[in-house]
Amino acid sequence: MKRLWLVLMISVMAIFSTGCSTVISLAQQVIQAQQQAKQQPVAKKEQDKPKKEQAQQQNEDDLSDIAQAPNNQDDDPSLDSDDSSGQEDPEDKNIQVDGRTWTPVDVHAQNDGNVRVLYVPEGQSADDWTEAITIDVHKGLQNQATVNDYAMEMRKSINEQVRDGKVTWRTLSKQQDDLMYEFVIENDGYQDNQHEISRVVATDEEIIVLHYTNKLSVPMSEDERQKWIQILQEEDPSSDSSDDSSDDPSDGSTTDDSSDSDSSDTL
């Protein structure tokens, strides 16, 4: 899992250092991480061999080592053989976004390709944060759902979770493989007040979702809102996707998408 985490951290850093067009690069990095993860059960099986077989293998390895030139790295017990790439611990892989340092505080990476990374401003934690950047990778989901399907399922889930508060939903832009939406939750007894802007991108391998959530200023000021829309949509990775002009006006203005739910209102 350590190697998987490391590859993910490096790829996630690239998104915000070179623009969101590197979402595709993230997908490629995650695929590599998945391939590494598949090799881990093999290593685990080696560890579970009977002691006699392990001892026999060790003797063979010792004979092989004698025939080779000395290797100082092998003699240093402080070196981790599972992480010999020389990379830093992924826990130290902060990112710089909006002129601030963001820290990875929660990482879920599974062998089936589903990945979630939660970043919060430096000094905050996974259990106590006011702003968050979340990256979700859903391996193979692009074969089962469109980006619009994903957004509508998210909207349905939010409306079900908010019991007595107000939910405001808006689709910001919609293309075949690239969709942006935002929602605001206010005055609910079960969910925190929050304003989230998200981007959903489908690649050949997965659906990737970038979220920015603000619980400090709800709703965000227009300047703050536009800033995060720009951060998430900078350099469109789906430039060859066909636009759905009925939901994404050519002038770039936002559209109200509240017809599907009574709990959604115009921002």
Written as tens digits, the pLDDT of the chain (267 aa) is 444 433 444 444 344 333 344 434 444 454 455 556 556 655 555 555 565 566 666 656 654 554 454 445 454 444 444 444 444 444 557 888 999 999 999 998 887 889 999 999 999 999 999 999 999 999 999 999 999 999 999 999 999 999 999 999 999 999 999 999 999 999 999 999 999 999 999 999 999 999 999 999 999 999 999 999 999 987 444 344 344 433 433 333 333 444 343 344 544
Backbone angles phi, psi at 136, to 5 degrees: -115, 135
pLDDT, residue 159, reads: 96
Backbone angles phi, psi at 13, to 5 degrees: -60, -35
Cα separation, 8 vs 31, in Å, equals 10
With contact defined as beta carbons under 8 Å apart, do 202 and 177 qualify? yes
Cis status of the peptide bond prior to 219, with omega within 30 of 0:
yes
Cα separation, 140 vs 206, in Å, equals 5
Number of other CB atoms surrounding residue 135 within 10 Å: 23
CA dist 190 → 108, 143, 166 (Å): 25, 34, 12
Cα separation, 208 vs 153, in Å, equals 15
